[in-house]
Structure 1
Amino acid sequence: MGRATGARTRWGRIAAVTVTVVVCLGYAPIAMTELWPYARPGAPALGEWLLGRAVSPEFVADAVRDRTGPYTRSLVPLIVHSVLGGLLMLLGPAQLLSAVRRRIRLHRAAGIAYAAVVYVSMAGAAVYLARTPPGEAFSGAAFWIVLATILTGTVLAVTFGILTAVTGLPDLHQRWMLLGYGYLMTAPLLRLEWGALPALYPGLDLQAVNRVALMHLGALVVLGALLASRALDRRADHPFVTGGWCPAPVLAGAHLAAVAGLLWLGRGFLEHGPEGRRLLLAHLVPYVVIAAVLHLGAARAARRGAGWAREEWRTHLVALCLAPALAAGTEVVCERALGLDPLTALVAGAGISSGFLAFAANVVLSLRVLHGREAARRRSAPAVATTSSTATTAASTATTAP
C-alpha cells in the first residue's frame, strides 16, 4: 500500500511539473510578442495569430480595438511588463525543477533572478494601472481591480518568500513562492480561456469572455499552488506546529458564512438575466469542485494521522468558505464607494475573493509556524541556561578545591 501511494505521489509530481513546464514554455513567446503590434502595426504576434485561428480574426480585431487607446498611453511600461512576464514563465519552472532536484546553487541563482524580474515586471504593470482609470482599462473596471489585486499579491508573496528563506524557514518559503507563481499563472490560463470559451458561448466578445474567466481563475490558481505545496511537502507532522486552529466549530461557522455569501451572490447575479446566470454558473461549479477537493484532502490527512497536512487543508478550506462572504462585502464597497454598476461590482468581488483569502490562509499558516518555532526556542532556553549554570558551578568548584 505504501509503495503504491509513493508511486502515485511520484507520478503526480511528474505530471504536475510536466504540465507547468509545457504551459509556461508555450506561453513565454506569446507574452513576449503580445504588444509588438501596438508598437509597430503589422508586427507579428504569436498570441494573436493563434487566437485568430482558434476563434476568428474578427474576435481578435475586436480585442485589439478595445485595448489600443489605454495601451498606447503606457506602451513602454507594458512592453517591459510583458517581455519580463515571458521571462518569468521560464524562470518559474527553473526554480521548481532545481528545488525538486535539490540543486541549491542553481535554485538560489534562479530565485534571485526571478525575484528581481518580478519586481521590475510588476512595476511596469503598476505604471499602466496608475495611468489608466478603471473604467478605461482593458475589459473594464472589474478587470482593473483584479489586475491590481494580482499585482499586489504577487509582489507581497515573493517578498514574504524572500524573508522566509533568509530566516531559515524553507517550507514557508516554498509556499509563498508557489502562491506568487500561481498568481502569475492567471495570464497563460486566461489566454487558454480566450480560445476555449467562445466555443462554449458563441457570440461573446472578449470583454464578456474575460468576465466569465474572472469568476474562477483566482480560485483555480491558488488551488494549484496548494496542491503543489502538498505534493512537495509530504510530512505528516510539523516540528513547530501542534494542535489545530480550525476545530469543528470554526469549520461549521465558515460553512454557514459560505452558504450566506453564495445566496447573496446568487441573488445578485440572477437579477441580471442570461449574463448573470452565465457568470453565476462559471463561479459556482468550480467553487463546489474546489471545496470537494479540499474536504477530501483534509479527510485523507486525518485518516493517516497527518496533523500538519490536515491543518493546511482545513485552513485553506476555511478561507474558501469565507470567499463568498468577502465577495459580497467587496461588491457593496465597489458599488457604493467606487460608483460601479452592480454587475461589475459583483464580478470584481468574486474575482478577487479566493486569491485574497488564499493569501490570508498562507499568512495564518506562517504565523502558526513562527509562533511554534518561538515557543520551541523558549522551551529550550531554560534547559540551556540550567546546563550552562551547572557547568559554571562545577568549574568554580574544581578551581577552588584544595
Structure 2
Amino acid sequence: MNRLRKVAWGRVATITVVLVCLGYAPIAMTELWPYAHPGAPAFGQWILARTVSPKYVADALATRIGPYGRSLVPLIVHSVLGGLLMLLGPVQLLSALRRRVRLHRASGVVFALTVYASMAGAALYLARTAPADAFGGAAFWIVLATILVGTVLSVSFGILAAVGRFPDLHQRWMLLCYGFLMTAPLLRLEWGVLPWVLPGLSMAQVNQVAIMHLGSLVTFGALLASRALDKRERVPGVTGSWVPLPVLALAHLAGAVALAWIVRSYLGWGATGHRLLAAYLLPYAAVYAVLLVRQWRAARAGHTWAREEWRLHLTALCLAPVLSAGAALPLQHSLGLDRQTALCAGVAIGCGMLAFTATTVVSLRVMYGREVLERAEPAAARRTRPAAATATATATATELDGFHGGVR
C-alpha cells in the first residue's frame, strides 16, 4: 500500500508540473504583446479579467506602461524565451525519467542556452528600471534580481556537475533551476487566487504578499523532487554529519531569535504587516515541519544520506530568518530603502538564498566523498580508474532516474 501511495504521488506531481508548464507557456509568450501593440491578445490578461475583474487588470497595466516601455525589447525576449523554457522543462523531465539520453542531452543544451538568453533580457530590464518602479516596489525588484542570479548559477552548476560526472548533483541543480523558473507561473496563479482570499488587493499588493513565500515554496519543491529521485541509503565516501546535533540546536536558537524580531517588526505595521507576516509564517512553518519529520524518519530508518540532506536543508531553513534580519540594514542603506521595505526584501530572499546554500553544501559533501575515496584508492587501482569511474557514473545515473515506476 505504501509503495502504491508513493507511486501515485510521484505520478500526480509529474503530471501537475507538466500541465502547469504547458498551460503557462502561451501566457508567458503573449504577456507583453499589448505593450508593443495596444489591443493585441494576451491570454493571461484575458483569463484574469474574467476570474477577477477587468478593472483589476486595467489598473495593473496602467502602472506598467512607463517602466516596461523603456525596456520592451529585452522584456519581450525574456518572456518569449521564458515560455519556451516552460515547454523545454517537461521535455527535460520526461526524457530523463524515460531514459532518453540523446534527447535529454540535446534538449539540455537548448535549455541552458535559453536560460542564459532569457535571463540576459531580464537583467537588462532590471538594470534600466529603478527598484521603486518595479511591479510591487523595491522589494520585488530585489527578489527578481535574486531569482535571476540563482537561476543562472543553478544551471551553470548543473552543467559543471554533468561535465564532472556527478549525475546526482546535476539532477539537483537543474531541479533547483527549474524551481526558480516556476516562480513565474506560480505568481500568476496567485494573481488569480489571492484576490478571492484577500479581497480589495491590487495586483502590486498581491506581488508583495506572494514574494513572502514563493522562494521557500519553489526551493522546497525542488528538494522534494531531488529526494524522491535519489533512492540511495548511503553515498560512498560520505560519513558522519556536517551538522551534528549541537550545531543544529544552535541554528534553531539563532533562527528563533531572528524570527521573533521579524514577527515583532511586522506586528507593528498594522493590517499590512499582519497580512505579510501570515504569508511568510504559514508556509515557513509547513516547510519546517516536513523537514524536521523527514530527517527524523531517515535517521530512524538508518538512511544516513537522506538524513544528512534533510538536516542540511533544515539547518538552512532555521538560519533563513537570521539572513533576512541581517540583510535588512545593508539593503536599507545601499538602496536608500525605508526600514519596512528593506526587511520585506530580506524576508523575501532569505529562504531561497539559504536553500541555494544548502544545495551547495550538499554538492560539496558528495564531491568531498569522492575525493576521500580517491585518496584511499591504491596506486594500482588508480591507473584503471577512468573506466571504473565511467561505469560508476553510468550506474549512478541509472539509479537516480527515479519515478520511472511512477510515470510509466
TM band (smaller chain): over 0.9
Residue 274 of structure 1 aligns with which residue? 271
Residue 399 of structure 2 aligns with which residue? none
List structure 1 runs of 4+ shifted beyond 4 angstroms. none
For residues 164 and 281 of structure 1, the distance between their equivalents in structure 2, rounded to whole angstroms, comes to 38
For residues 304 and 297 of structure 1, the distance between their equivalents in structure 2, rounded to whole angstroms, comes to 11
Residue 124 of structure 1 aligns with which residue? 121
Residue 298 of structure 1 aligns with which residue? 295
1:235, distance to aligned residue in structure 2 (A) = 1.1
Query: Residue 106 of structure 2 aligns to which amino acid in structure 1?
Result: A
Query: Residue 261 of structure 2 aligns to which amino acid in structure 1?
Result: W
For residues 128 and 53 of structure 1, the distance between their equivalents in structure 2, rounded to whole angstroms, comes to 29
Q: Deviations over 1:134-178 (max 9, x none)?
A: 111222111110000000000000000000001100000000000
Residue 259 of structure 2 aligns with which residue? 262
Residue 225 of structure 1 aligns with which residue? 222
Q: Which is further off, 185-194 or 233-242?
A: 233-242
Higher relative contact order (CA 8 A, sep 6+): 2
- Secondary structure (helix, strand or coil) at the match of 2:160 reads helix
Residue 399 of structure 1 aligns with which residue? none
- Percentage identity across aligned positions? 64
Unaligned runs of 5+ in 1: 388-402
For residues 196 and 221 of structure 1, the distance between their equivalents in structure 2, rounded to whole angstroms, comes to 18
Residue 368 of structure 1 aligns with which residue? 365
Q: Deviations over 1:107-130 (max 9, x none)?
A: 111111100100000000000001
Find the partner of 2:21 among 10, 21, 24: 24
1:383, distance to aligned residue in structure 2 (A) = 5.4
For residues 45 and 109 of structure 1, the distance between their equivalents in structure 2, rounded to whole angstroms, comes to 31
Q: Deviations over 1:49-83 (max 9, x none)?
A: 00111111111011101211110011011000000
Query: Residue 228 of structure 1 aligns to which amino acid in structure 2?
Result: A
For residues 91 and 305 of structure 1, the distance between their equivalents in structure 2, rounded to whole angstroms, comes to 37
Aligned 8 A contact 1:331 1:348 in 2: yes
For residues 122 and 285 of structure 1, the distance between their equivalents in structure 2, rounded to whole angstroms, comes to 31
Answering whether residue 185 of structure 2 is matched by residue 188 of structure 1, we say yes
Residue 96 of structure 2 aligns with which residue? 99
1:133, distance to aligned residue in structure 2 (A) = 1.1
Aligned 8 A contact 2:320 2:351 in 1: yes
For residues 158 and 376 of structure 2, the distance between their equivalents in structure 1, rounded to whole angstroms, comes to 27
- Secondary structure (helix, strand or coil) at the match of 1:226 reads helix
1:5, distance to aligned residue in structure 2 (A) = 3.3
For residues 63 and 310 of structure 2, the distance between their equivalents in structure 1, rounded to whole angstroms, comes to 41
Aligned 8 A contact 1:269 1:346 in 2: no
Aligned 8 A contact 1:143 1:348 in 2: yes
Q: TM-score, normalised by structure 1?
A: 0.93
For residues 87 and 76 of structure 1, the distance between their equivalents in structure 2, rounded to whole angstroms, comes to 17
Residue 392 of structure 1 aligns with which residue? none
Residue 316 of structure 2 aligns with which residue? 319
Answering whether residue 79 of structure 2 is matched by residue 44 of structure 1, we say no
Query: Residue 51 of structure 1 aligns to which amino acid in structure 2?
Result: L
Unaligned runs of 5+ in 2: 385-408
For residues 22 and 240 of structure 1, the distance between their equivalents in structure 2, rounded to whole angstroms, comes to 39
Aligned 8 A contact 1:240 1:376 in 2: yes
Aligned 8 A contact 2:295 2:308 in 1: yes
Aligned 8 A contact 1:78 1:124 in 2: yes
Q: Deviations over 1:253-289 (max 9, x none)?
A: 1111111111111111112111001101110111000
Q: If you compute each CA radius of gyration, which structure gives the higher value, 1 or 2?
A: 1
Q: Deviations over 1:178-222 (max 9, x none)?
A: 001000000000000001111111111111111110110100000
For residues 349 and 58 of structure 1, the distance between their equivalents in structure 2, rounded to whole angstroms, comes to 32
1:300, distance to aligned residue in structure 2 (A) = 1.6
